Amino acid sequence: MAHNLLRWPVPQRPTALVCLSDLVATRAISGVLDPGARVPDDLALCGHDDAR
pLDDT, tens only, 7-36: 888 888 888 999 999 999 999 888 888 777
At residue 18, the pLDDT reads: 94
Q: pTM surpassing 0.75? A: no
Residue type, 20: L
- Backbone angles phi and psi of 28, in degrees to 5: -65, -40
Identify the band that residue 48 occupies on the pLDDT scale cut at 50, 70 and 90: confident
Task: State yes or no: pLDDT of 40 exceeds 80.
Answer: yes
The verdict on residue 32 lying in a domain is yes
> Minimal CA–CA distance to 3: which of 40, 41, 50, 43?
43
At residue 42, the pLDDT reads: 86
The verdict on residue 34 lying in a domain is yes
The verdict on residue 52 lying in a domain is no
At residue 50, the pLDDT reads: 83
The verdict on residue 51 lying in a domain is no
Total number of domains constituting the chain: 1
